[in-house]
Structures are given as structure tokens and as C-alpha cells.
Amino acid sequence: MQITLKVKRYNPEATSEDKKSYFQEYKVDAPADSTVLDSLIQIREYQDESLTLRCSCRGAICGSCAMRVNGHAGLMCKTKVEKALGKNNVILVEPMGNQPVVKDLVVDMSLFFDKVRAVEPYLQPVGPEPKEERIASNEDMLHLVGVMSCIMCGACVSDCTVLEMDPNFLGPAALAKAYRFVADPRDGKTKERITEYNKYGGIWDCTRCMECVQVCPKGVDPMGRIMMLRTKADELGTKDYSYGVRHADAFEDSVKKGGKLNEAELVINTFGFFNVPKLLGMLPVAMRAAYKRKMPSLFHKSIPGVQSVRRIMSKAHEVEKVQGKKPMPR
Amino acid sequence: MKFAFYPGCVSKGGCPELFASAVAVAEKFGIELDEMKGASCTGAGILQEKNRFLGDCLNARTFAMAENMGLPILTICSTCQGVFSQAHQRLDRDPSYRAQVNEVLKEEGLEYKGTVEVKHMLWVLAEDIGATEVKKRVVRPLTGLRVAPFYGCYLVRPSSALGFDMHPARQTSLESIIEACGAEVVDFPGKTRCCGFPITTINEKNSMGMVAKHTLDAKDRGADAMVTPCPLCHLNLDGYQPKAAAQVNENIDLPILHLPQMLGLALGLDSNILGMGRNIMTTYNVLMKVGVKIH
């Protein structure tokens, strides 16, 4: 099959700006079931040896060949040509986002690894050393395997919406790695770790957009892990740098009270009734809503059968107390 | 066509114009809506970050109620839809987990059997009614109006929970409805990105940055308006747009329409019924462009 690869090129040594960054089209004869990486290698071997890319295992294990195809990150060795074909048999290939480009399709991942190191990605057991080894149960290990599948390809970081706004965010890969140690029963520093991740740039800055869940080639579910860290932060009764924990608590209270959300009350309870500066900051938004006759009322009628909602909520908490942890699906 | 109607908290609170316009549009298409007045909030992903099991129990309650009504659920909020779809996926995939959830529901005389279907109004329009039929019903084509789509994260990710394999048309449903209304689609990369609403109270600067980025990007590509099937995106993109504009020190002034507001205009519904005057960013230019009498 004749296909066109539209590749984003970048040459840091070029003399003028337009020669530095541009798109170049390559025509390739590629079988439908071959991978985009096969085509890129074919270009490099037979058409243009200056095309720079990184790859190694070609089997979705090493994590070297993460790039953006048609705007979304993924491993090129795992992306089939037939799935990636767009209009007129064109495939758009770009380097990953949120990381500086070194040349063509290669990005500098030093910040990625700095952030992974920042979460202290190693076991820190406490207490006297046991006679034999430290044991984790089979069930615990099965749970950890999901997050241990991360191959550090950087796809999640590439498409993270928060990192696009704020490079200080630790990001999905590092926080998923953080969860791996928080959830490990052999680690003894859970509280210290959570206290650290509660800071600015940590777990509360995630906007739950699920881009990382979608693009992860190994099913690590980074955002899901960040949410599990938030659950842990709540269970330990820790405080975050902003209003994350309070917002979640106020949300649950609101649902418990009326069965549905009371938006005005949620805002007041999140910031605190006496938090005048924050509430004043909300005033222009509230005034505009009031002007348009849609300021949500503070006084809500509860839904019919709200008692049933409340009973279910307390029963769900009871199950957790009896079992010692929250039930989880496979 | 009859549905158990799940309007969601925001259409009953901060975005009353969404509720009104959705009901009016449904009537035009002969969609019968039986409102689930006793259904609880989905948890919007926030309850789930505290306690996912608790969230799944509440949503299983809503599913069981719909099963008892013998109807599929219709939502008008991307977030409600996504949270429902994810809960649905977890409860369907693991029968032993569903049994644990049903154990909690038992005392309420409820059981979720796993048969409920949950659909966003956008999907019903694009799949069950179909863009061709929508186009046939249009009496006031929005010719010349350039509209940028904005889906809302929960209606596009994770695709495994949203049935994109079985229903590939869902991925371009919003564009197909914009075209069916006679408007021109302004494609832009931000259409499936995040509006920033979930972190408005936590990190307002980043949230406002997202609002400014997407609205300015759509405007730069010539959009007259943006349309969204998600009231939470609407709250941020519309309600917080002045704040976002101040943060980046630019004029944005991009009208943000709810999906049924745009449809209602094309179907010839009265602009008052559609609550066009209730959007924070004035919709005046949109109404002028499509030739609606303002009163």
C-alpha cells in the first residue's frame, strides 16, 4: 500500500528559523499490518539518513519509540499503519509534546527522569529487618503489577493537559510510580510520601482529563493511580496545599445532605465560610450569574428518597470497615 | 423513543438554560423523557477520588432504578455520561464486584442486573435519530455560522468505556450534528482537550490558562461560537471566560452554546425558551448571524 508519512522535522543546527522546524512528506510502500515504526525505519534506511528517531526493541517493551501519531502519543512499534491512516492515506508523525525536542523525533527526557527520581521510587521499609525477606501478599502484588508495567516511554507526559500549562506538575508517570510505592505493603514511608505529593505540583493539580489513561500503551492507568493517591491522602486525614481535600469532603457532604449537588454550598464549604478573600474572588463570577438570573440557590430541595442515598453511603463505608479496605473490581 | 431522563445536578442548578433547551429539543424530535427525580448525583469523578466503591454503589442505584422503569438512560452532561460509563464498565467486567455493590443495594430493595444502557443526548441524535434526519428537521439552517466543537474529556476518554469500538461514529458525533444544523465546523486541536473545570478551586491559574488557550485558539481559527455537550465545560468556558481573559490580558468574547441551544436555533425554537439570554458571554452576535428575532 502506498502511504505518505508527514513527519515533523527539527534541526537545531539550521541557520534560519524556517529551516529549523518544518514538515516533510515521505512516500512509503507499507503493508497494512506493518507498523509506523517499520515505515520510519524504511525512510531512514533507504530515503533520508538524516531522519533522526529513537527505537530499540520493536516489541513494545523498551519504551524508546514513543512519538505522536495524528496528534496523540503512542509507541510507533505498536501502532499499525492501517489503524493510523488518515485522509488520502496520510499519517502525521511528530515528536512527543511537553518535552524539548533534540532533533526531529527525538526529545530530551531528562526532566521526565528528574521527576521520577523526585518521588523517591524505591522501597523504604521501616522497623527491624526480618530474619528472612519482607513479604508482600499475592493479592497485593497482583494489584501492583498493573502499575509496575510502566516502561517509562513518556507517552502520558507528552499528552498531559496540565503539563501543557504548568511544567512544575510532577506529571502522570512520576505520580503513577509514586503510587507503586505507596501501595506496596513493604514500604513504611506512606505518610511522608503523601505529605510530599500533597504539595503544589503534586496529586491535586491533576485535572482528571484521562489523556494519560487513553495513550498509555501498557494499561498503567496513571490518572487512576493519582486518584488512588488522593483516596489515600483522604484516608490518612492529610491536608493538601490548596483546597483539594476540602473540595472532595464538601462534595460528599453535599450529596449526603440532598442527594444531589448544591453548587453554591459546595463553593462556600470548600473555601470556608470565613475565607473572605477567596469568597470575594468568586464574587464577580457569582454576580455575572446573578445578573443572568442563574445564580444557584443556597437552599436546595432534597431529591425524593434522599434517605436511601444516605443509607447506601453509610453502608458503603461500613463494608470498607468490615473488610479493612475498599472493595475493588478486577 | 422513550428514555429515563437523567438531567444531572448542573442543568438543575448553574445552567438552567441547558435543562430548558434540552427538554424543548427532545420534544421536537419526539423523544419522550421520564425524569429520574429520585436519582442521586453521579459523583462527577470527585466522589470517586475519595471512595470509588461508594460512587459505584450510588450509580448502581440509579441503574437499578432505570431497569425498574424498563428504560435506557439519557444524559445531557458529558461528565455524568462518562462517570456512568466507567461505573458501568467496572460493574459489567467483574460479576463479583457487582455482587458486592448489590449487597449494599439489597436493603433498599434494589438490584442492578447489568442490563441498563446509558446514552448522552448527542449519541442519541447522531446514532438513533441520525444526522440525516436531524438535517431534515432543520427549519432555520445556521448557514454562515462557524462553530468550534468542544466535547468534554468524559465523552471522549477512556474510549474503552465509551463503546467507541462498537460505535465509531461517536468520535465525530458533535461535528456531524454541527453540520446537520447547517453551520460550518471549525476544527481545532483543543476540541477533545480539558477545559480545566475540575481544578478551578485547586489551581485556578492553570484552569483559567486552559480556558484562554482553547477559546483563543478557536477564535483565531475564525469561530463565531463554541458548542459543548458538557455543562461543566460550559461553566468554565462561559462563566469563567472573563476571568480567563483578564489573566491572559486579551479580549476573547467567544459565545459558548450548549448543544441543545445550537440545535434549538436550527429547529426554529424561540430564543427565550432556549435561554439564549442566560449565557454569560453574550450570544447576540450568534442570534444576529442566524437571523433570530430578539425580543
Task: Give φ, ψ of A56 to 5 degrees.
Answer: -145, -75
Inform me whether the pLDDT recorded for B83 exceeds 90. yes
Q: What backbone torsions phi and psi does residue A80 show, to the nearest 5 degrees?
A: -75, 140
Residues B171 and B250 placed together within one structural domain of the fold:
yes
| Strand order, beta sheet including B225-228 | B184-185, B146-149, B225-228, B256-258
CATH (domain of A42): 3.10.20.30
CB contact A218 to B (< 8 Å): no
Instruction: Identify any residues that bridge with A26 across adjacent strands, giving them in sequence order.
Output: A5
Q: Is the pLDDT of residue B117 over 80?
A: yes
Provide the residue range defining the domain that includes B253. Answer: 131-289
What's the gap in Å between the CA of B29 and the closest CA on chain A? 27
Distance, CA of A215 to CA of A208 (rounded, Å): 14
3-state secondary structure of A219: coil
Q: Over 80: is that where the pLDDT of A18 sits?
A: no
Same domain, A229 and A254: no
* B176-181 average pLDDT score: 98
For residue B158, cis peptide bond before it (omega within 30 degrees of 0): yes
d(CA B242, CA B280): 9
Q: What is the mean pLDDT of chain B?
A: 96
Domain shared by B150 and B279, yes or no: yes
Nearest by CB to A204, from B105, B202, B242: name it.
B202
Cβ–Cβ below 8 Å for B53 and A165: no
Q: Using 50, 70 and 90 to split pLDDT, how confident is the model at A118?
A: very high
Number of domains present in the structure of chain B: 2
Q: What is the ipTM for the molecules in this complex?
A: 0.94
Does residue B247 have a pLDDT over 70?
yes
CB contact under 8 A, A166 and B209: yes
Residue A33 to residues A67, A93, B7, B286, Cα–Cα distance (Å): 19, 18, 44, 47
User: Alpha carbon A324 to chain centroid distance?
Assistant: 28
For residue A185 the three cell numbers come to 505493603
Residue B295 has pLDDT above 70, yes or no: no
Interface probe for B, chosen from A8, A83, A205, A207 (most Cβ of B below 10 Å), is A207
User: CA A273 to CA B37: how far, in whole Å?
Assistant: 30
Task: Calculate the alpha carbon distances from A286 to A60, A267, A271, B260 in Å.
Answer: 50, 11, 15, 24
Cβ-nearest to B40 among A247, A259, A293: A259
The answer to whether A329 faces chain B, any CB pair under 8 Å, is: yes
Domain that holds residue A219: 127-235
Residue A330 touches chain B, beta carbons under 8 Å: yes
Closest chain B residue to the Cα of A292, Cα to Cα: B278
pLDDT in tens, B33-46: 999 999 999 999 99
Query: Which among A207, A297, A320 has CB closest to B198?
Result: A207
Nearest to A231 among B51, B105, B210 (CB): B51
Instruction: With respect to residue A121, please indicate whether it lies within any of the assigned structural domains.
Output: no
Cβ within 8 Å, pair B15-A251: no
Grid cell of A46 as nine digits: 533507504
- Tell how strand A2-10 and strand A21-29 pair up: antiparallel
- Within 8 A of A165 by CB-CB distance, chain B residues are 196, 206, 209-210, 213
Q: Which of B84, B119, B154 is the endpoint of a domain?
A: B119
Residues B148 and B282 in one domain: yes
The CATH number for B18's domain is 1.20.1050.140
What's the whole-model pTM score?
0.96
Q: Helical H runs in chain A?
A: 17-20, 36-46, 81-84, 110-118, 138-148, 155-159, 161-165, 172-182, 190-197, 211-215, 222-235, 244-258, 263-271, 276-291, 306-323
